[in-house]
Amino acid sequence: MTTTATLAAPPEPASARKSDTVTDLGAVAAAATTTPTVKARAAAAPAAPTARRRPAWLDTLGDCAAKILPPVVTMALLLGIWELASSQAGASLPPPSKVVADTRDLILHPFFDNGGNDVGMAWQLLASLERVLYGYSIAVVAGISLGVLVGQFALAMRGLDPVFQVLRTVPPLAWLPIALAGFRDGNPSAIFVIFITAVWPIIINTSIGIRNIPNDYRNVARVVRLNGIEYFWKIMMPAAAPYIFSGLRVGVGLSWLAIVAAEMLIGGVGIGFFIWDAWNSSRISDIVLALVYVGLVGFMLDRIVSWIGRWVARGSSVN
Partner 1 sequence: MSQPFLELSLVSMAFKTRQGPFQALSDINLRVEKGEFVSLIGHSGCGKSTLLNIVAGLYRCTAGGVLLEGREVDQPGPDRAVVFQNHSLLPWLTAYENIELAVKKTSGGKRGKAQIREWILHNLKLVQMDHAMTKRPEELSGGMKQRIGIARALAMEPKVLLMDEPFGALDALTRARLQDELLRIVADTGSTVMMVTHDVDEAVLLSDRVVMMTNGPAATIGEILEVNLARPRNRLALATDARYLSARKAVLEFLYQKQLKAA
How would you class 152 by CB atoms within 10 Å of its CB: exposed for 0-12, middle for 13-18, buried for 19 or more?
middle
DSSP-H helix ranges across the chain: 5-8, 14-33, 36-44, 49-52, 56-86, 96-102, 104-108, 121-152, 154-167, 175-183, 186-211, 215-224, 228-231, 237-266, 271-280, 284-312
Query: Is 316 among the residues that bind partner 1 (CB under 8 A)?
Result: yes
Q: For residue 228, state whether it binds partner 1 (rule: CB under 8 A).
A: no
Using the contact rule CB under 8 A, the part of the chain among 28-36, 91-99, 191-199, 230-238 near partner 1 is: 230-238
Asked if 11 is part of the footprint of partner 1 (rule: CB under 8 A), the reply reads: no
**Binding pattern to partner 1, positions 129-158, x when CB under 8 A?**
------------------------------
Residue from 49, 57, 114, 216 touching partner 1 (CB under 8 A): that is 216
Binding flag, residue 314, partner 1 (CB under 8 A): yes
Cβ-in-10-Å burial (0-12, 13-18, 19+) of 85 comes to: exposed
Q: In angstroms, give the least distance from the CB of 226 to partner 1.
A: 6
How many C-beta atoms surround the C-beta of residue 18 within 10 A?
A: 11
The answer to whether 82 and 95 have CB atoms below 8 angstroms apart is yes
**231-290 binders of partner 1 (CB under 8 A):** 234-235, 238-239
Considering Cα of 210, then 216, then 219, then 224, what sign does the dihedral take?
A: negative
Looking at the Cβ atoms of 214 and 267, the one nearer to partner 1 is: 214
Using rule CB under 8 A, residue 223 touches partner 1: yes
Phi and psi at residue 113, in whole multiples of 5°? Answer: -145, 100
Query: Which residue in 30, 226, 257, 292 binds partner 1 (CB under 8 A)?
Result: 226
Do residues 197 and 258 lie in contact, with contact meaning Cβ atoms separated by under 8 Å?
yes
88 vs 70: CA distance, rounded Å: 28
> Exposed (0-12), middle (13-18) or buried (19+): which is 20, by Cβ within 10 Å?
exposed
Q: Which stretch in 52-60, 144-152, 222-230, 285-293 sits in contact with partner 1 by CB under 8 A?
A: 222-230
DSSP 234: I
Alpha carbon separation from 158 to 138, 169, 211, 234 (Å, rounded): 24, 18, 14, 26
Judged by beta carbon, residue 236 or residue 264, the one nearer partner 1 is 236
Amino acid at the residue 41? R
Binding residues among 294-313 for partner 1 as defined by CB under 8 A: 313
Among the candidate windows 38-46, 219-227, 246-254, 258-266, which touches partner 1 by CB under 8 A? 219-227
Our finding on whether 15 is near partner 1 (CB under 8 A) is no
With CB under 8 A, what is the number of residues at the site for partner 1? 21
Cβ at position 231, least distance to partner 1 in Å: 11
Q: Does 41 bind partner 1 (CB under 8 A)?
A: no
> Site mask, partner 1, residues 172-211, x = CB under 8 A?
----------------------------------------
Binding interface with partner 1 (CB under 8 A): 214, 216-217, 219-220, 222-226, 230, 234-235, 238-239, 313-316, 318-319
